[in-house]
């Protein structure tokens, strides 16, 4: 099945909750990519990827904070940023390569190549050049190739695709590894990342930081996962681009954020993080902040 280009790519399903990756925070039909087809990029896409490259006028900008937003609907970011001043909030991403209307000058948008399937790569070069020209200084690799319901690609194949599609931006932006889940299943999570890093040692993948996702029940488990990712990544920095406590209770999310965020801020090797995710009922509610949103802005 194919992800419709009319809509934003969905996030990973939130473990332990009824909201899933096939129920995005917008109206419209969506088909979710469940298997990665073997497709060669079109000649047009290849021509774009190898053509003249724009240089970001903001390539030396120092973004002030680790905290960011994972979103599908850019308008909801306005609710978070407008209601309370968030000096600690510095970036945002939406699992796609274009920002879909994010206009906050204080937030760096970080493009992602969700997978090396053709429906993503055909748009990648043009979109990422536009985002770099607009101020993006980082890009993200694939989304949870270790999971069959997400990018769904073995570590070695993902490394080959990474060299093709991400390596060309070396030296222009900082580049993140494919994001991994915290699944303990065979060939998933940390085991997948270890295999990817090992293959990349020989292929020369140009990655500056590793990207991790985590869902669970305690801050201690989150911090341990991040520590293990840091080790598997040869000591490189870590971005935690999805994390959340497994609960339907907003107050539990607020309490978890209040405990977890200062700990992530204190870890030197954690460069950035974003709580899962900006949507109705999580971080925002109606035209205001939910209890978890108040915690995320204020902590």
Check if the beta carbon of residue 62 is closer than 8 Å to that of residue 91.
no
pLDDT at 231: 99
CA gap 127, 186 in Å, rounded: 35
Q: Give, in order, the Cα–Cα distances in Å from 54 to each of 68, 99, 114, 134.
A: 25, 18, 22, 10
Residue 277 near residue 240, CB atoms below 8 Å: no
Q: Where are the domains of the chain?
A: 65-298
**Fold of the 65-298 domain:** TIM Barrel (3.20.20)
The string of pLDDT tens digits covering residues 136-145 is: 999 999 999 9
* Cα–Cα distances in angstroms (integers) from residue 22 to residues 28, 111, 207, in the given order: 11, 21, 30
Rounded to whole angstroms, the Cα distance separating 65 from 273 reads 10
Average pLDDT over residues 235-260: 99
22 band by pLDDT with thresholds 50, 70 and 90: very low
- What is the phi-psi region of residue 292: left when phi exceeds 0, alpha when psi lies from -120 to 50, beta otherwise? alpha
More confident residue, 288 or 59: 288
| pLDDT of 80 higher than 70 | yes
| Kind and range of the H or E run holding 122 | helix 118-133
Please write the tens of the pLDDT for every residue from 99-121.
Answer: 999 988 889 999 999 999 999 99
């Amino acid at each position: 099945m194919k992800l419709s280009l009319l809509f934003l790519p969905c996030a990973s399903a939130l473990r332990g909750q009824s909201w899933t990756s096939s129920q995005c925070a917008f109206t419209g039909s969506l088909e979710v990519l469940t298997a990665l087809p073997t497709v060669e990029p079109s000649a047009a896409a290849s021509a774009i990827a190898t053509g003249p490259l724009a240089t970001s006028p903001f390539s030396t900008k120092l973004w002030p904070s680790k905290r960011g937003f994972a979103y599908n609907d850019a308008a909801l970011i306005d609710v978070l940023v407008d209601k309370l001043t968030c000096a600690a909030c510095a970036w945002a991403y939406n699992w796609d390569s274009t920002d879909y209307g994010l206009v906050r000058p204080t937030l760096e948008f970080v493009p992602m190549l969700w997978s090396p399937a053709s429906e993503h790569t055909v748009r990648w070069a043009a979109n990422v050049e536009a985002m770099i020209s607009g101020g993006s200084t980082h890009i993200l690799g694939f989304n949870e190739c270790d999971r069959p319901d997400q990018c769904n690609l073995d570590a070695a194949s993902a490394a080959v695709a990474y060299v093709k599609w991400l390596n060309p931006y070396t030296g222009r932006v900082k580049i993140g590894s494919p994001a991994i889940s915290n699944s303990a299943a065979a060939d998933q999570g940390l085991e997948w990342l270890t295999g990817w890093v090992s293959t990349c040692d020989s292929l020369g993948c140009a990655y500056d930081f590793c990207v991790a996702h985590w869902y669970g029940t305690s801050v201690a488990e989150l911090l341990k996962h991040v520590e293990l990712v840091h080790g598997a990544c040869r000591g490189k920095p870590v971005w935690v681009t999805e994390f959340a406590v497994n609960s339907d209770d907003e107050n539990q999310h607020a309490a978890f954020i209040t405990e977890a965020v200062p700990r992530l801020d204190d870890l030197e090797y954690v460069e950035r993080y974003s709580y899962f995710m900006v949507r109705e009922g999580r971080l925002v509610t109606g035209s205001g902040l939910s209890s978890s949103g108040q915690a995320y802005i204020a902590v």
